[in-house]
Amino acid sequence: MKGKFCPKCGATNKPFYRGFCIDCYIKDHPKLLQADDITLKRCQKCLRVLSRGEWVSGSPESVGKIVASKVKTQLKEPKVSVRLLESGTKGDIYEVAATGRLGSEPVALTREVKVSYQKGICDVCSRKSGNYYEVLVQLRPAGEEADLGRMKSVLVFLRNESRSLTKKDRNAEVFRYSFVKDGIDVFFGSLRVAKIALQHMQATYHPKVKESYTLTGVDHASGKRRYRVTFSVRV
């Protein structure tokens, strides 16, 4: 017998690869395209997902990229694409499609990947809902008598400045205040925003400002020391 003969299924009229018909070879080699189910931590508040230590968008495109980044294929010159097939309450199903070659034969393979979600809360949402702040601005009276009206107008000024400055920096969105016995405490999520707001305030209110730093810990990701800054502002 001259022609090729598949020892598994007996086929003779198919393309062959390494002694088997291409269909049997593909069936026996699931690792040609490996795409495992994954579980992602997802923020309950903003639906961002945690990927390589970073909170990124939870959109189908973004999750699709995460799925694609974990795909392994033994095809030659592979092209991998991922799309959302189904979105359910327990998770999503993505389809991974890969095209490439086995020897000289063009091959197309698909897998379904289940993406499950674990409840979590991202760092920014937890900061916003918790006690987090980077900067405390203490508004205090300049003289013996506290001028609460003046302090309130400074507070409004700082809040407006903060709002217009925090468009791109999510941490900077933190802005809280509380009235205390001798003035107003204003909390900022970002040192940069607080500094600019205070600078702009100088022009109108000419306060005396004292700055102090408290070490609060070390950032695990960057190894940098973290400080909490307090500005004591006499208005």
Q: How far is Cα 6 from Cα 20, in angstroms, rounded to an integer?
A: 5
Q: How far is Cα 191 from Cα 171, in angstroms, rounded to an integer?
A: 10
Count CB neighbours of 47 within 10 A: 12
β-strands 20-21, 49-51 pairing:
unpaired
Subset of residues 120 to 179 that bind Zn ion, contact rule: CB under 5 A: 122, 125
End-to-end Cα distance, the chain: 101
40 binds Zn ion (CB under 5 A): no
Q: How far is the CB of 140 from Zn ion (least distance, A)?
A: 34
Q: How far is the CB of 5 from Zn ion (least distance, A)?
A: 9
- Residue of 24, 113, 194, 235 that binds Zn ion (CB under 5 A): 24
Structure tokens belonging to residue 61: 């495109």
Q: How far is the CB of 23 from Zn ion (least distance, A)?
A: 6
Tell the residue number behind the tokens 């509380």, with chain if given.
178
Closer residue to Zn ion (CB): 43 or 75? 43
21 binds Zn ion (CB under 5 A): yes
Q: Which stretch binds Zn ion (CB under 5 A): 9-17, 138-146, 151-159, 163-171?
A: 9-17
Closer residue to Zn ion (CB): 102 or 154? 102
Q: How far is Cα 233 from Cα 212, in angstroms, rounded to an integer?
A: 12
Q: Which among 131, 136, 96 is positioned nearest to 115, based on CA atoms? A: 96
11 binds Zn ion (CB under 5 A): yes
Q: How far is the CB of 96 from Zn ion (least distance, A)?
A: 24
198 binds Zn ion (CB under 5 A): no
Closer residue to Zn ion (CB): 37 or 173? 173
Reported as half-sphere exposure (CB side, CA atoms, 13 A), residue 98 has a value of 24
Q: Which stretch binds Zn ion (CB under 5 A): 41-49, 175-183, 185-193, 215-223?
A: 41-49
Q: How far is the CB of 114 from Zn ion (least distance, A)?
A: 23
Q: How far is the CB of 212 from Zn ion (least distance, A)?
A: 31
Closer residue to Zn ion (CB): 25 or 175? 25
Coil/strand/helix, residue 156:
helix
Coil/strand/helix, residue 127:
helix
The DSSP call for residue 121 is -
Q: Which residues bind Zn ion (CB under 5 A)?
A: 6, 8-9, 11, 21, 24, 43, 45-46, 122, 125
